[in-house]
Structure 1
């Protein structure tokens, strides 16, 4: 029995509570960028304290009902509270929506005898923070380079605050990185390389470019790749392309594999030598953790956070930034053909990318959360 198991099975229960593992409620619903770090954190808590009980908060919107049950965690639904980005009629409805969601959160906290709430931002997190305030300890994790509204509110009364990168805008945030799936952080790329290439039908001996941008925001990448593909193939570069469920693949040719979606992303990373993609927080964290060089093309809207997400990796020498309006077929070839045909440069950039990441973020955040419980016990 490890130290944490001993502490939380029998050693740190509040008066009147039975000996058991901690009951941890995670709030990170909506998008995969909020859900995946929450689930990776939950996995780490259960590894560290096998008796821990995890409950996820979510809504019927987004990917909550798909991703969370598939990982084996119970899901409790609460009313969604989308946060308007600008003044509108929805802003007037916000207080009523928040009250209803907060009430439901408190019902769940009581039902599962919650010891801790850990939030990851998004429209599930705000009612979770408000429902837990004054009742249950709170830990906040911010994955993006600039904190969203929910986490800005939660950080004001949280016991601990964590962030993926410095400068998130959350005072006293501790930089831990983004919790990632173990299938990514423990990936043996060299050992899986041939198996992964066989899985996707890629050539065994050619350098491979992995291109993905998600169902949203992939159009620029798809268009530029389609223009660049003939020259990339002439240079002996194979391409694995996730063009998005609403996107368009490039013209078929040998050495090009186009898929609407890749459901074994760790195997795609194992097959690849470099990445062309957007710069969402999860993308940057995963690509860095597996040690892949990348050309990042931040989405051109929002508050500029995607460029900020990638900047630490770029500064470390593990990636390049190309503005969306400058990504053409010619630019793809100019940036990636010299890289993919230079094994020494690939190796150096891959090492720099890996060194800039935080592959242990899941357990660091889990230990932070468990420390909050130990202090409160």
Structure 2
């Protein structure tokens, strides 16, 4: 039986990929910092949350994964049983820990959370980070969750609040941050720096293009910091080209970056825009086209540029990067446009909404 407590208790559900986990953790940190809440995270053994959540100091509660088969199969026949089992596991967590509010951020782990919240009569929030809402979040709103959107017209009803990002990424980088980044990665402070994030799922085309473009970029007088992904083969060493499997201090990476090349996940676009870093986005060509939609507001405003994945190759990447890094006035304009968006406070706003939904309130 749960022990009564006067402290607000929240269960955040956003597992699988960083695009679901990072907004959940940003709100979790705001709930602790601003509302004195105790926050638990819900996930499965198969997602990145098994690494990311404990590293940020939160207690992770695991339930069985509920993959949705795309084709008729035995696994599809087992889906109802798996959903029921995951929902019951989540109900047990809600009851055992006396959860006041559930906050979901999409992905497979969120659907059981929404259903369990409805069955236990626990208030819940549904946050959609992408420009097009996913199935789990649409279900959550239909079940009675309070819908919150990163952008308008996502296909899911709800207030527009932006994408929650962690506090360390919502501040404009300082000269001290840039110096710390140069020391950490052995970069030269006087050279313009290209940051490339090629470690996300489906970023192979970016890594392949950079392998061809890197020598030309370095020869033009620039340097590169490249996160190539833990599961990918390390690139060949080139002077002026620092390749690492993963970047833990993304705040420092953004501080040293004069330009970033990356996919256009909602979380990435929000973080890069809040840091006012000029960007060259290569949207993932799969799915329902949400990555291109994520990037278009800042691209149309002039704070970023876009290259379709189908047009990306080493030559085009080198030309685009060299042109941008060689034009300080254009980059200053792009940075100013990004800084004028006002992004960076969504985590606090969502945390306030979650706290207000508490059964204690």
- 1:181 pairs with 2:137: no
Structure 1 window deviating more from structure 2 (105-114 vs 330-339): it is 330-339
How far off its partner does 1:252 sit?
A: 2.2
Matched length:
358
Aligned partner (choices 1, 6, 13) of residue 27 of structure 1: 13
What residue number does 1:288 align with? 273
What residue number does 2:148 align with? 162
> When the two structures are superposed, what TM-score results if normalisation uses the length of structure 2?
0.94
How far off its partner does 1:158 sit?
A: 3.1
Q: Which runs of 5+ in 1 are unaligned?
A: 1-16
What residue number does 1:9 align with? none
Q: Is the 8 A contact 1:21 1:49 kept in 2?
A: no
Q: Is the 8 A contact 2:4 2:98 kept in 1?
A: no
1-structure distance, mates of 2:222, 2:63? 48
> When the two structures are superposed, what TM-score results if normalisation uses the length of structure 1?
0.90
How far off its partner does 1:82 sit?
A: 1.7
Aligned partner (choices 26, 36, 41) of residue 27 of structure 2: 41
Cα deviation 1:128-174 (Å, max 9, x = unaligned): 10011051011000111111111010011334211112221102x21
Instruction: Map 1:361-376 to 2 at 5 A.
Output: 361-373=346-358
Aligned partner (choices 134, 155, 160) of residue 148 of structure 1: 134
Q: Which runs of 5+ in 2 are unaligned?
A: none
Q: Is the 8 A contact 1:279 1:298 kept in 2?
A: yes
Give the CA RMSD over aligned residues.
Answer: 1.8
Q: Deviating runs (4+, > 6 A) in structure 1?
A: none
Cα deviation 1:71-93 (Å, max 9, x = unaligned): 22222221111233455443322
Aligned partner (choices 346, 351, 362) of residue 331 of structure 2: 346
1-structure distance, mates of 2:269, 2:346? 14
How far off its partner does 1:216 sit?
A: 2.7
- 1:99 pairs with 2:81: no
How far off its partner does 1:357 sit?
A: 5.7
2-structure distance, mates of 1:189, 1:312? 26
Aligned partner (choices 67, 73, 77) of residue 52 of structure 2: 67
Instruction: Map 1:108-127 to 2 at 5 A.
Output: 108-127=93-112
2-structure distance, mates of 1:164, 1:23? 24
How far off its partner does 1:251 sit?
A: 3.5
2-structure distance, mates of 1:188, 1:320? 21
Structure 1 window deviating more from structure 2 (144-153 vs 243-252): it is 243-252
Structure 1 window deviating more from structure 2 (116-125 vs 345-354): it is 345-354
Q: Is the 8 A contact 2:20 2:107 kept in 1?
A: yes
What residue number does 2:340 align with? 355
How far off its partner does 1:191 sit?
A: 3.1
How far off its partner does 1:337 sit?
A: 1.1
SS for the counterpart of 2:195 is strand
What residue number does 1:261 align with? 246
How far off its partner does 1:180 sit?
A: 1.0
Aligned partner (choices 261, 264, 278) of residue 279 of structure 1: 264
